[in-house]
Amino acid sequence: MFISQAFAQAAPAAPAAPESFFGSLGSMLPLLLMFVVLYFVMIRPQMKRQKEHKAMIDALQKGDEVVVGGGLIGRVAKLGESIVHVEVASGVEIQVQRSSVVQVLPKGTFK
């Protein structure tokens, strides 16, 4: 009664969009750039630090002066496969994991 009938009609054809130079790559480009920046800013330097730390740990020798993760300074007394005995005072040795050695100090630092 109060509602009139509505008839659907075909919509006019949309004008063709010009082809973009990059095509679908254009929408993916910002995402790809984010991954490239992330790799060079975060991932690559971290991998380099890990490689240097592993080389330092593998090169440990008896008598080296080291800093352990908790800040203790001592001299390597014994080396094991995964454990290092560090002498922190005369007659006092602690056992730590090799990976907890943070830094090798120059000779003569620890007295």
Q: How many CB atoms lie within 10 A of CB 12?
A: 6
Candidates 91, 49, 96; CA nearest to 68 is: 96
Q: How many CB atoms lie within 10 A of CB 66?
A: 23
pLDDT at 45: 95
At residue 1, does pLDDT exceed 70? no
Whether 86 shows a pLDDT value over 80: the answer reads: yes
Average pLDDT over residues 57-81: 94
What is the pLDDT at residue 26? 76
Is the dihedral angle over the CA atoms 23, 26, 29, 31 positive or is it negative? negative
Task: Report the pLDDT value the prediction gives residue 17, as an integer from 0 to 100.
Answer: 59
At 9-65, the pLDDT tens digits run: 776 766 655 566 667 777 788 889 999 999 999 999 999 999 999 999 999 999 999
Q: pTM of the full predicted structure?
A: 0.68
pLDDT at 109: 85
In angstroms and rounded to an integer, the radius of gyration of the C-alpha atoms of the chain is 32
- Beta strands 65-68 and 101-105 are antiparallel
At residue 5, the pLDDT reads 73
DSSP letter for each residue of 42-87: IIHHHHHHHHHHHHHHHT--TT-EEEETTS-EEEEEEE-SSEEEEE
Query: Residue for token digits 């973009």?
Result: 20
pLDDT of residue 16: 59
